[in-house]
Amino acid sequence: MLKGFTAANPAIATSGTGVAFADYWDKLATETAGGSGPDVFRMSMTYFTEYASRGALRDLTADAASTIDASTLDADVRDSGLVGGKLMGIGQSSIAPALFSHGGMLQAAGASVPDEWTWADFQTWVTDFAKNAGPDKWGTTDLGGNFQMFDVFARQEVGNQFDPEGKLLLDQAVVEAWYAMWDGLRRGKAAPPQDVTAAGGTFETNPMSKGQAALTAGWVQQVTFFQPLIADGTVAVSPLPQKVKGDLSGLFVKALDFWCVSATTKAPEAAAALVDHLINDSAATKEIGLLLGVPPTGSARDQLSSAGGATTAAIDYVEKVTPKAGKAPGPWPKGYGECLSAFGRANESVGFGQATPAQAAQTFLSEAKAALGA
Amino acid sequence: MHRRRWKAYLFLLPWLIGLVWFTLGPMVWSLYYSFTDFSLLQAPNWVGGDNYARMLTDARFHASVRVTLIYVAVSVPLELVASLGLALLLNQGIKGLAVYRAIYYVPSLLGGSVAIAVLWRQIFGPDGLVDKGLELVGVHVPALISSPGTALGTLVALRVWQFGAPMLIFLAALRQVPADVLEAAQIDGAGPVRRFFAVTLPLITPIVFFNLVLQVIGAFQAFTPAYIISGGSGGPADSTLFYTLYLYQRAFGSFQMGYGAAMAWVLLIVIGLFTLANFLVGKYWVYYEDGGRV
């Protein structure tokens, strides 16, 4: 990736560091605090506001007027990089929530997944599927603890999860309804029991990868992670269920990953040039592929869409969904990372029979409010 | 005289620099940070005792204290009994003692490592060795590592399995028990059990005490196994949320270095108190042959 950049800009010396994903955030935080962090780094939506609001990122508004050509980005993705009106990051990916289905299992059951269906249809579908498939096979993985897929459900009930100031807009009723739905699916053996879900958590251990569940959900580019794990069938991508059949306004397309420049960089121009290279150069597009999401520019998508298979499926989905999706939510607020884990824990407490959906919703809301208020 | 002292400090300097720079200095800083809202990314602001007050109402903090206390209270006695039991067995003058000693010591070298934690996850996980083994005898257990009722138990088992280090120390202590005293007891008609409880055990109480203090301190500080086995979450349902793991989540996961620092200081004080309590209670059960006291 950097080689291509250096080849095009021989005057700028670059060096890269890599780190296991699990250690990335610890390392970035400590290095940033110590002032020895990288000039350009990948930032996730989860921590974007955290870093931006604490003055760790360089405001790229001026660079975008000169060095970085951000006009090529999809509008929603470009705007995702704005924090308080300042451009703090350049979106690297267009992502959208998506439902994945295991082609082999569907075929064996003679089932198909509709594009347009309600959450009630979805519950019937997964329950019937599990009944026909027999013991230890489920219609879907447990998405009850997935705050990001819950977003699609919640947006159709209460609009966004957060207001522009980062205050929580969720109420008890919508969170409780979600937990109760998944509690019902687990009890009805349509979704795996909690200990199976607790033992999963990676792409490899996801029950769909193991041929035990027909459906799962995630960010659309993850289809390229699931597909290699599933030998007996194509992984298909389709929209998540809806509140009103065919109304896809719960879905959204936005940036998940950003290229950011350190506020203390000594080489702002070179850093900006590198960011421009990463989003606009075809060599970089080829290197990065769908690793961080579907590319946020039309030309990069055109370049990759001929790859076929899961890559094409992901790109097609984003292009198909974009016109029908709702307005993308703003940047995730400070404390979002904690909301993610609190949401999963609360769902787990229902799954293990330690709390009712109502109690779990209450626990989540109070933990989330505390995390967001800090 | 004065000059000689000066020279002594000169020779101590490398160590003193290390102590001040790498231990005392950071400790003083962390004490300061514990009274601030330090986020790692921004300069700290003084918040007084807020971080300490927050522990009183933080439900997950309480959960982590409960998990850690259970872990210490269950794993330390089990580990001591296991290590003493094996030391007694190995002290029977068996052939190839050195080999057994080495074999039993190996887990202590590996037990705290990431690799073993990963392996443990495999053994107790779904479709793991334990699950498959029990299936052979027709028993189906839920995944031990991913059920809140049993996950902590697997971590206790992991700690007990690392009995090698205290075992070696016990073994050395058993060698020190004078043979003539044991012989005298035997002549007086004491059986092996009576000899153990009336002679051997009282004579090795200083070593039991030593191992106890060491293991309690170690158990309070356990981090790696819970971190690896739960993927850093302390799950399922916070059942393996060790104190140190929660501290780490707060400090590095949610950028609350100030709170993390305060938690670290509370842990230090609690470990200090437990150790002090051990020494106080030790007076009543630890016996030194030379009449010394704990």
DSSP structure string for B112-142 = TSHHHHHHHHHHHSTTSHHHHHHHHTT----
C-alpha–C-alpha distance, residues A283 and A304, integer Å: 11
Same domain, A201 and A239: yes
**What mean pLDDT comes out for the span A98-114?**
93
Task: Report strand pairing: A138-140 vs A213-219.
Answer: parallel
pLDDT value at residue A22: 65
**What mean pLDDT comes out for the span B2-17?**
84
pLDDT value at residue B146: 82
Compute the residue count for chain A. Answer: 374
- Any CB–CB contact under 8 A between B136 and chain A? no
CB atoms within 10 A of CB A129: 22
**What mean pLDDT comes out for the span B195-218?**
92
Read off the pLDDT band of A282 (50, 70, 90). Answer: confident
Q: How many contacts does A have with B, using Cβ atoms within 8 A?
A: 72
Same domain, A19 and A59: yes
Same domain, A19 and A73: yes
Residue B256 with chain A: CB contacts under 8 Å: 374
**What mean pLDDT comes out for the span A331-359?**
92
User: How far B214 CA lies from chain A's nearest CA (Å)?
Assistant: 30
Say whether A29 and B40 touch across the interface (CB within 8 A). Answer: yes
Say whether A199 and B125 touch across the interface (CB within 8 A). Answer: yes
pLDDT value at residue B94: 79
Same domain, A102 and A167: yes
pLDDT value at residue A10: 64
Same domain, A70 and A152: no
Residue A54 maps to which CATH number?
3.40.190.10
Judge residue A177's burial from the number of C-beta atoms within 10 Å of its C-beta, 0-12 exposed, 13-18 middle, 19 or more buried: middle
C-alpha–C-alpha distance, residues A42 and A21, integer Å: 12
pLDDT value at residue A236: 93
Per the CB < 8 A criterion, the answer to whether B122 and A199 are in contact is no
Same domain, A104 and A54: no
Of A25, A54, A199, the CB nearest to B126: A199
Per the CB < 8 A criterion, the answer to whether B170 and B211 are in contact is yes
Read off the pLDDT band of A82 (50, 70, 90). Answer: confident
Query: Does the pLDDT value for residue B274 go beyond 70?
Result: yes
Of B41, B145, B237, the CB nearest to A51: B41
Query: Does the pLDDT value for residue A8 go beyond 70?
Result: no
pLDDT value at residue A287: 83
**What mean pLDDT comes out for the span A345-357?**
95
pLDDT value at residue A1: 59
Of A54, A56, A196, the CB nearest to B126: A196
Q: What is the pLDDT of residues A139-183, one digit of tens each?
A: 999 999 999 999 999 999 998 899 888 889 999 999 999 999 999
pLDDT value at residue B283: 86
Read off the pLDDT band of B142 (50, 70, 90). Answer: low
Mention every residue, 6+ apart, whose C-beta is less than 8 A from residue B246: B60, B61, B63, B64, B234, B263
Judge residue B148's burial from the number of C-beta atoms within 10 Å of its C-beta, 0-12 exposed, 13-18 middle, 19 or more buried: buried
Query: Does the pLDDT value for residue A134 go beyond 80?
Result: yes
**What mean pLDDT comes out for the span B144-169?**
88
- To the nearest 10°, report the CA torsion of A267, A14, A37, A372: 90
Read off the pLDDT band of B291 (50, 70, 90). Answer: low
Spans of all domains in chain B:
57-283
**What mean pLDDT comes out for the span B60-65?**
95
**What mean pLDDT comes out for the span A347-372?**
94
Mention every residue, 6+ apart, whose C-beta is less than 8 A from residue A92: A42, A255, A257, A258, A259, A278, A279, A288, A292, A293, A296
User: How far A275 CA lies from chain B's nearest CA (Å)?
Assistant: 23
Q: Report the CATH number of the B57-283 domain.
A: 1.10.3720.10
Same domain, A117 and A158: yes
Of B126, B147, B254, the CB nearest to A337: B254
Asked, for residue A328, whether it belongs to a domain, the answer is: no
Asked, for residue A300, whether it belongs to a domain, the answer is: yes
Query: Does the pLDDT value for residue A240 go beyond 70?
Result: yes
Of A55, A194, A201, the CB nearest to B42: A55
C-alpha–C-alpha distance, residues A119 and A241, integer Å: 5
Of B147, B252, B254, the CB nearest to A371: B254
Q: How many domains does chain A have?
A: 2
User: How far A29 CA lies from chain B's nearest CA (Å)?
Assistant: 7
Per the CB < 8 A criterion, the answer to whether A254 and A94 are in contact is yes
Per the CB < 8 A criterion, the answer to whether B177 and B199 are in contact is yes
C-alpha–C-alpha distance, residues A40 and A30, integer Å: 15
User: How far B119 CA lies from chain A's nearest CA (Å)?
Assistant: 14
Q: Which amino acid makes up residue A252?
A: F
pLDDT value at residue B292: 60
Say whether A201 and B231 touch across the interface (CB within 8 A). Answer: yes
Average pLDDT over chain A, rounded to whole? 88
Q: Which range has the worst mean pLDDT, B133-137, B155-159, B257-261, B263-267?
A: B133-137
Same domain, A201 and A168: yes
pLDDT value at residue B3: 65
Task: Report strand pairing: A257-261 vs A90-91.
Answer: antiparallel
Say whether B237 and A33 touch across the interface (CB within 8 A). Answer: no
Same domain, A116 and A237: yes
Measured CB to CB, residues of chain A less than 8 Å from chain B are 22, 25-26, 29-30, 32-33, 50-51, 54-56, 193-199, 201, 335, 337-338, 341, 344-345, 348-349, 352, 354, 371, 374
Say whether B252 and A50 touch across the interface (CB within 8 A). Answer: no
Q: What is the pLDDT of residues A228-238, one digit of tens each?
A: 999 888 999 99
Domain that holds residue A76: 1-95+257-322
C-alpha–C-alpha distance, residues A374 and A125, integer Å: 42
Q: What is the pLDDT of residues B224-259, one digit of tens each?
A: 888 888 878 887 889 999 999 999 999 988 889 999
Q: What is the pLDDT of residues B188-199, one digit of tens each?
A: 988 889 999 999
Same domain, A195 and A143: yes
Query: Does the pLDDT value for residue A374 go beyond 60?
Result: no
Judge residue B207's burial from the number of C-beta atoms within 10 Å of its C-beta, 0-12 exposed, 13-18 middle, 19 or more buried: buried
Say whether A199 and B252 touch across the interface (CB within 8 A). Answer: no
Same domain, A47 and A6: yes
Same domain, A200 and A270: no
Query: Does the pLDDT value for residue B106 go beyond 90?
Result: no
